[in-house]
Amino acid sequence: MKKEKLLNVGIVGCGNIATGKHLPALANTKRVGITAFCDILPEKAESCAEKYGTKGAKIYKDYRKLLEDKSIDIVHVLTPNREHSEIAVAALEAGKHVMCEKPMAKDVAGALAMCEAAERTGRKLTIGYQSRFRNDSQYLKRACARGDLGEVYFAKAHAVRRRGVPTWGVFMDEEKQGGGPLIDIGTHALDLTLWLMDNYKPKTVTGSVYRKLAGNRDAANAFGSWDPEKFTVEDSAFGYIQMENGATVFLEASWALNTLDVQEATCSLSGTLGGADFRDGLRLNGEDFSRLWEKKPDLAVGGVAYNAGRALDSSDVECGQWLDAVVNDTQPLVLPRQALVVTQILEAIYRSAKTGQPVQLS
């Protein structure tokens, strides 16, 4: 059997998302060499290179210098949202395949530029929506594709924390991120919902955005109290999306809400033949012979993958399929134009909340 060529990967942005998700997953594949690291704080790049890099891995402060290295096959863009589009487009133009963390971009213009660059250059582009790769998500996708739920005409996308404001990095910085929980965790829930529905044609979006708790000092919070002066994004946002085929999607996203109904990166689906949710593990419901039923599939049986004794999580599965797409010249599971629709809806929710009017999308 011919041995697969080792792919060279460059990392742009060496913060928590790099060390907590991408680098461990890449290292776990044994299919790549991580040969370059870039961060505006060189000590972060050096730390990552020491732990995950190949011998002689290069350190950069300017991503443009990294892109000049013709030996690099793939670039992972793991920076604040504001830089996603600029760096991804430049990497694609430099002939690299690009994995960009979610959301695709800070705004629709940036996301569209990324799509067009990928199509123009013929390089592969995907976005880091790892929730699609969970065992429960994969099971439900297969059920939806088989028609078990019938026509899914109503859905709720859930991304609600009672108190989970990320107080580190630039999460609370509107200028660098483009928004708060809606663009941070709401984007995962919305992507998962649209993918399961296989519906990417929004028609009208109405949104509400709140900053009701952001001004509180010494607030109870899982990650420590926040500084109200630095909390420049919303604490909660809600969207009502009508699709071209008449389906309705309700999106809820919050870092801080006085509620005990807490769910994140999940959704609820209602179709003509059945429904599903993730409230207490994956649950499906329906009716047979004039009787209602519900079931909870055992996702542990036959559904756990291992690599050298280490159970693979959704980030590992995501990484593996991404590398497969590059090697085999196939489409990654998360397509750029799908991620663009997610960004269009998020931007429309913010715009609707600002104007007080519904936003029409073509």
Angstrom distance (rounded) from CA 219 to CA 235: 13
pLDDT of residue 303: 46
Please, which residues have CB within 8 angstroms of residue 237's CB and are 6 or more apart in sequence?
Answer: 179, 180, 181, 182, 186, 207, 208, 209, 210, 251, 253, 254, 349, 350, 353
pLDDT of residue 307: 41
Contact indicator for 242, 250 with CB cutoff of 8 Å: no
- Where exactly are the structural domains of the chain? 7-131+327-334, 132-307+342-360
pLDDT of residue 343: 98
pLDDT of residue 155: 98
Angstrom distance (rounded) from CA 187 to CA 345: 9
Angstrom distance (rounded) from CA 12 to CA 150: 43
**Partners of 239 in beta bridges:** 207, 251
pLDDT of residue 5: 79
Alpha helices in the chain (DSSP H): 16-17, 23-29, 42-52, 63-67, 81-93, 108-121, 135-146, 174-177, 181, 187-197, 314-328, 336-355
> How far is CA 119 from its chain centroid?
21
Q: Are strands 202-210 and 236-243 parallel, antiparallel or unpaired?
A: antiparallel
Contact indicator for 53, 37 with CB cutoff of 8 Å: yes
Contact indicator for 314, 138 with CB cutoff of 8 Å: no
pLDDT of residue 3: 62
pLDDT of residue 50: 98
> Spelled out in words, what is the top-level CATH class assigned to the domain 132-307+342-360?
alpha beta
Please, which residues have CB within 8 angstroms of residue 112's CB and are 6 or more apart in sequence?
Answer: 340
Contact indicator for 264, 189 with CB cutoff of 8 Å: yes
Alpha carbons within 13 A on the beta-carbon side of 79:
24
Angstrom distance (rounded) from CA 152 to CA 315: 28
Alpha carbon of 60 to those of 21, 37, 333: distances in Å?
21, 6, 30
pLDDT of residue 218: 94
Give the closest residue to 257 by CA, choosing from 180, 197, 188, 199.
Answer: 180
Contact indicator for 276, 152 with CB cutoff of 8 Å: no
Domain 7-131+327-334 = CATH 3.40.50.720:
yes
Give pLDDT tens digits along the chain (362 positions): 456 779 999 999 999 999 999 999 999 998 999 999 999 999 999 999 999 999 999 999 999 999 999 999 999 999 999 999 999 999 999 999 999 999 999 999 999 999 999 999 999 999 999 999 999 999 999 999 999 999 999 999 999 999 999 999 999 999 999 999 999 999 999 999 999 999 999 999 999 999 999 999 999 999 999 999 999 999 999 999 999 999 999 999 999 999 999 999 999 999 999 999 999 999 999 999 999 999 999 997 554 443 444 456 899 999 999 999 999 999 999 999 999 999 999 999 999 999 999 999 97
